[in-house]
Amino acid sequence: MAQILIVDDDAQLRQSFGKILESEGFEIRAAACGEAGVEAVKSLPPDLVIMDVRMPGITGIQAMQQMRAACPGLPVVIMTAYGGTETAIEATKLGAFDYILKPFDVPDILRLIGQALTAGRLTRARVAIAPEDSEDGGDDSGDALVGRSRAMQDVFKAIGRAAPTDALVLIRGESGTGKELVARALWQHGSRADKPFVVINCVAIPDTLLESELFGYEKGAFTGAGSRRVGKIEQAQRGTIFLDEIGDMPMNVQAKILRLLQEKQIERLGGRETIPVDVRILAATNRDMEAAVAEGRLREDLYYRLKVVTVTLPHLREREGDVSLLAAHFLSRLARELDMQNPGLTPEALDMLTAHPWPGNVRELGNVLKKALIFSRGCPIDPEEMRQAIGTRRDASPGADRNTDPRGAQEAAQAGGDAPLRAFIRHALMDEAGNAAFEHVLDAVARDTIAEALEITGGNRTRAAKLLGLSRPTLIAKIEKYGLKVTTQVQ
Ligand SMILES: Nc1ncnc2c1ncn2[C@@H]1O[C@H](COP(=O)(O)OP(=O)(O)OP(=O)(O)O)[C@@H](O)[C@H]1O
Ligand SMILES: [Mg+2]
């Protein structure tokens, strides 16, 4: 049950408003002045504060600042009887979730409360990078959105506001900034959370297939359409569909999506029947959509529809203080996934992280920490290990670090012509030319990769499989195929 603290010098308001909120299922605490409110927050932080501006003693704005200093991320809604924009601007500028004019309508304040509570929940994040803090029983779903910077607070607020509506939301941001995670947050905090969340990656699916993937087809719609197929949009019925990389959607599909947005109905390919669909659409892109419109790659009418509600993710560099929070988050999550102890970071290693420009944003940070964790030898990750982890990234182009590179192979391959791997490949090509050079090289690399993973994990096949991104049975089959000896260490 969410707990709300009401701070107002008007006893009657405290009482009547408190009653209304209690009947809505909230737990209510009350304070009669700013000072008492601050004390209440310090002794036991509520989930939300609703506070008047003008009170004897410190003002609501001052009290809010003290509360948020004591409890960052606490959502505060300011009430004011004076419609001055000064207060409104001041309040939101200083961190109020929102402000509302007195007198207010109950449905309005309830909607605002819902949004503020959602934003507050999204804010919770881990704080330190000491290993002992990693087991904090907090919200540990791998999907937690981490961030305390002002820039991310704004994103959380926007999510809080947009989630409960059914509006189409466009999520913009560079590669690796967390667009998919935000889409999932919008879904999880919306009214369709218990219904499907269907992701369509418009770049990953070839243009020729995207249309039938999305809209489905009737038997005989085209050669090869042997039976009817229901598309992803229909599969998402009553749920949410996430159109990822929408900036890359082919023109014919754009027209159909536009029609879906306008008329809320679709037709399967080769079908005559119009099918009403009830889906919420979320979309993301890292493209310059304005340029795409100018160049005729994106329909202008679709663009205007898409951009009505936009959430823009800041670059990781613009999220002051978030790198260390994210590092703590990733270390504890990765340690769990790889079944390793979380060694923590030394302050110097953390300094290196904060100084790095992160062209690949949060995804790059996650990949660097994964490498650092693998290089670490049970002691806190030190600058040398961190340098190795950061240094092994070669290509700073967005998306280049999408997948964690296998150590060794690519590195050696990129290191230059005289790297051992290159030399080996050249040999194989000479010796086996016209024979099976390709298979031979791949087998050798596969064998070494698996051997390395087994060595790093002390022979633990489950961990090695996770590290390699293989299933355990596949790994075991390969161990047999390559005749690898596994010396299992006692864990
Ligand atoms: N604020 C965050 N807190 C925790 N993890 C995050 C955050 N932002 C991103 N991540 C993690 O970083 C990785 C990249 O995020 P995501 O896939 O959502 O990015 P994206 O913007 O969709 O990237 P792309 O444009 O390359 O598809 C994921 O592993 C995600 O879990
Ligand atoms: Mg993405």
CB of 95 within 6 A of ligand 1: the answer is: no
Any atom of ligand 1 within 6 Å of the Cβ of 386: no
Closest ligand to Cα 183? 1
Beta-bridged to residue 345, according to DSSP, are: 381
Asked whether 77 and 99 are in contact (CB, 8 A), the reply is yes
Chain segment 205-233, per-residue pLDDT in tens: 888 789 999 999 988 888 877 888 889 99
Residue 488 belongs to a domain: no
Domain-ending residue, one of 312, 335, 370: 312
Structural tokens at position 59: 């003002």
Alpha carbons 34 and 402: distance in angstroms, whole number? 49
Pair (248, 336) in one structural domain: no
Of the residues 82, 106, 123, the one at which a domain ends: 123
Q: Within this chain, do residues 364 and 467 fall inside the same structural domain, yes or no?
A: no
Pair type for strands 280-285 and 76-80: unpaired
CATH number at residue 427: 1.10.10.60
> Quick check: is 338 in a domain?
yes
Residue 92 lies in a domain: yes
Query: Range of 90's domain?
Result: 3-123
- Among 273, 315, 54, 76, which residue's Cα sits nearest to residue 172? 315
Q: Give me the number of domains the chain comprises.
A: 4
On whether residue 487 sits in a domain, the answer given is no
Residue pair 185/163 in contact (Cβ under 8 Å)? The answer is: yes
What is the C-alpha to C-alpha distance for residues 354 and 232, in angstroms, rounded to an integer?
Answer: 41
Q: Is residue 431 part of a domain?
A: yes
Centre of ligand 2 from the C-alpha of residue 489, in Å: 38
Judgement on whether residues 211 and 308 belong to the same structural domain of the protein = yes
Q: Do 398 and 419 belong to one domain?
A: no
Q: Using omega within 30 degrees of 0 as the cis cutoff, is the peptide bond preceding 103 cis?
A: yes
Q: Do 198 and 263 fall into the same domain?
A: yes
Q: Are residues 16 and 55 in the same domain?
A: yes
Q: Give a yes or no: residue 491 inside a domain.
A: no
pLDDT recorded at residue 396: 40
Looking at the fold, whether 255 and 282 belong to one and the same domain comes out as yes
What CATH number corresponds to the domain at position 375?
A: 1.10.8.60
- Ligand 1 within 6 A of 180 CB? yes
Kindly give, in sequence order, each residue whose CB lies less than 8 Å from that of residue 372, ignoring residues fewer than 6 positions away.
349, 381, 385, 386, 388, 389
Please tell me the predicted confidence (pLDDT) of residue 432: 61
d(CA 156, CA 314): 12
Query: What is the per-residue pLDDT for 226?
Result: 81
| Alpha carbon nearest to ligand 1 atom 24, residue | 175
Same domain for 205 and 246, yes or no, is yes
The owner of tokens 């003290």 is 66
Ligand 1, residue 182: give the atom nearest the CA. 18
Query: In a 3-state reduction of DSSP, which class is residue 402?
Result: coil
Is the domain of 323 the same as that of 302? no
Residue 283 within a domain: yes
pTM over 0.85: no
Under a CB-based contact definition with an 8 Å cutoff, are residues 168 and 306 in contact? yes
Choose which residue among 244, 311, 362, 368 to substitute to test ligand 1 binding: the one with the highest number of ligand atoms within 8 A of its C-beta: 362
H/E element, 197: strand 197-201
State the amino acid at position 394 in one-letter form.
R
CATH at 211:
3.40.50.300
Cβ-Cβ contacts under 8 Å for 37 (sequence gap 6 or more): 5, 7, 31, 49, 51, 63, 67
- Rounded to the nearest angstrom, the distance between the alpha carbon of 197 and the centre of ligand 1 is 17
Residues 154, 271 within the same domain: yes
Is ligand 1 within 6 A of the CB of residue 75?
no
pLDDT (0 to 100) of residue 419: 65
Instruction: List average pLDDT for each run of 10 residues in the chain, which is 491 residues long.
Output: 94 94 95 96 94 93 93 87 68 80 87 84 44 40 73 84 88 95 89 90 85 90 82 92 92 92 92 92 94 93 93 95 92 87 89 93 94 81 88 46 41 48 77 73 90 85 88 91 73 41
- Cα separation of 433 and 212, whole Å? 43
Q: Hey, which residues does 242 pair with through a beta bridge?
A: 199, 282
* Contacts of residue 335, Cβ cutoff 8 Å, sequence gap at least 6: 134, 341, 342, 343, 373
Looking up residue 32, the CATH number of its domain turns out to be 3.40.50.2300
Which of 154, 172, 177, 182 has the most ligand 1 atoms within 8 A of CB, as the residue to mutate? 177
Question: What is the reported pLDDT for 92?
Answer: 74
The answer to whether residue 173 sits within a structural domain is: yes
Q: Are residues 71 and 190 in the same domain?
A: no
Smallest CA separation from ligand 1 atom 18, residue: 178
Ligand 1 contact, 146 CB (< 6 A): yes
Q: What is the DSSP letter of 225?
A: -
Q: What pLDDT does 11 receive? A: 95
Give me ligand 1 centre to Cα 368, in Å: 14
Q: What is the pLDDT of residue 49?
A: 96
Q: Are 122 and 152 in contact (CB under 8 A)?
A: no
Q: Is 32 exposed, middle or buried (0-12, 13-18, 19+ CB in 10 A)?
A: middle
Query: Which among 133, 154, 76, 77 is positioned nearest to 318, based on CA atoms?
Result: 154
**Residues 90 and 167 grouped into a single domain:** no
Among 250, 283, 312, give the residue marking a domain's end.
312
The pLDDT of residue 444 is 86
